[in-house]
Structure 1
């Protein structure tokens, strides 16, 4: 039975993107580089944030058919069987009002997934410039959260229907939002160690972050768990400020506790992205992460985290271990 896979590749492994996209089972190619703008062809998703571990590509695979691809509503989409991937970009000049631009961009995405018959997003990624710029409610991330929540409200998505997500900052121009969507709804999960993000107190902005800690979905096989961007937060409070080693330990413990809660503790982790605020933290982060996870499933990414006190954020895909 097919499962969804996200695999990291070196630059040497991707010499012809058109040829790779034409292979059966290749849904999309995510590029970790300096550009955040529409790819040359649907199916290529440049994020504007570089890999620190020389793995500039992620290939998303599913099924055994050749993807159908196209462009609608200023969105690029790819579909294989019962999984749809859609990406849209926000132009640099529109990022000056990230609140309004986010609502518009999400509206485009929602219209495309609904028109294609895949109305249920189960994993969303958001990457934008200057995520920590601004004070109080005028911080860019908080303004993004307002726009995102308005879009969910516009399309009547209730908080308990929010899917897994990540939201990070980069140092490029422009923004990108992309998602995976299905024909049926996944199951959205919270972590008992953490307050649901959509219930955060007012101090975190006029609109709470609109995401679940994880979403599980069975794509004609056993359920896979898409773990949202996870950080050193217990309850709603940041832990271990300025201590990377402790933040990493708490973050990994949060992920393990979440998987235990959804009864997937024995799952194998893949597509592990470790977002680091400071590139100089790479040696320590590699030593700590590689002691617990295979190097092949981990990519270290240079990115700003949504809270200025956070030094690291981790996301992953959990797949049931083979019997």
Structure 2
């Protein structure tokens, strides 16, 4: 079996209840007979003090669940679930002969390493600074420092990152003249500047959260032979994000660094492809489609995604909505599209105030 057949993505959602009870319910859903590589939980704490309490409880419960068997990468994202109380996204792998999965930990952050005949694959994340005492810039610096320690320890270069998720509290807010997203982008650019990006930047999502400061997750890969490789995918309808002009960027510390990511990233395994679709919105060229309703923004977003996947099969989607009132409209639109795949619906601010929806996903062909 090919890597693309053995990697699986699932989403589980529970009704609203006490936090501990919701976590226990979700952990009981974990797939049997597969190696779980990453767990991402989405929920709604009341404030950052409660966010830290919930995050610590969550990590403790995952550790207890796995016992001495080793834990996967774990993240807790402060985004309200629009169709439940708490959601869990699971990245897992069907291990067969020749596959080796190892679970390790550094600085308290668990992560997973998968090695097979095609390459070595790193699944890590949950990286964060002190959400109660650090500003967004310092938190971003700390998150990347923690990530670098694991990359270095496991023999991965920064340029081996193929997929990154970046969660930023109140993403479009300003601390004085410094916008949160722009502060993050400046730090990311500084982190990336020493890397060799000959296969393009990672696919990435930069999305808002209600709370939780800065949180970063990563997948990285080193391939063993030339039939397996990563490559960037452009969208002819959009300017590459890393090529944006100053006109569409905000400022932080008197800098305007562009968002360093590709619209999508393809990972080829012989005759198969896995496509990581970056956070995608209603942008044409480099300008947002303003003055249009949620239905029009949805259609433009899905047209952008179709440009990226070129008829590949969608395996999973995350839908981020600025306004919870748009949830029913978008659910109906996705049903009309005939998609019967795992989809999560989350309340989140997008990186531009005028954008009402952002969608990311994974596809294969």
TM-score (norm 2): 0.78
Aligned residue in 2 for 1:48? 78
The CA distance in 1 between the partners of 2:307 and 2:26, in whole Å, is 40
Residue from 176, 187, 190 that aligns with 2:234 = 190
Q: Would you say 1:167 and 2:206 are equivalent positions? A: yes
Q: State the Cα distance separating 1:138 from its structure 2 match.
A: 1.4
Structure with bigger gyration radius: 2
Determine if contact 1:22/1:66 at 8 Å carries over to the other structure.
Answer: no
More off after superposition, 311-320 vs 133-142: 133-142
Aligned residue in 2 for 1:287? 332
Determine if contact 1:163/1:215 at 8 Å carries over to the other structure.
Answer: yes
Aligned residue in 1 for 2:38? 28
- What are the Cα deviations for residues 199-255 of structure 1, in whole angstroms up to 9, with x where unaligned? 101121310001000111135761111010000000000014351111101000011
* Unmatched tracts of structure 2, length 5 or more: 16-21, 45-50, 64-70, 224-228, 251-255
Residue from 127, 148, 169 that aligns with 2:188 = 148
Aligned residue in 2 for 1:181? 220
Q: CA RMSD in A?
A: 2.6
The CA distance in 1 between the partners of 2:337 and 2:138, in whole Å, is 41
- Greater than 6 Å deviation, 4+ residue runs: none
Q: Would you say 1:247 and 2:297 are equivalent positions? A: yes
Determine if contact 2:42/2:81 at 8 Å carries over to the other structure.
Answer: yes
Q: State the Cα distance separating 1:131 from its structure 2 match.
A: 0.6
Q: Would you say 1:85 and 2:85 are equivalent positions? A: no
TM-score (norm 1): 0.87
**1:173 is paired with a residue of what secondary structure?**
coil
The within-5 A match list for 1:1-323 is: 1-3=2-4, 4-11=7-14, 15=25, 17=27, 20=30, 23-34=33-44, 35=51, 37=55, 39-40=59-60, 41=63, 42-43=71-72, 44-54=74-84, 56-64=87-95, 67-73=101-107, 75-81=109-115, 82-87=120-125, 88-96=127-135, 98-119=136-157, 120-134=160-174, 138-153=178-193, 155-158=194-197, 161-184=200-223, 186-203=230-247, 204-205=249-250, 206-219=256-269, 222-260=272-310, 265=311, 267-320=312-365
Determine if contact 1:49/1:170 at 8 Å carries over to the other structure.
Answer: yes
* Unmatched tracts of structure 1, length 5 or more: none
CA distance 1:152–1:33, change in 2 (3 Å): same
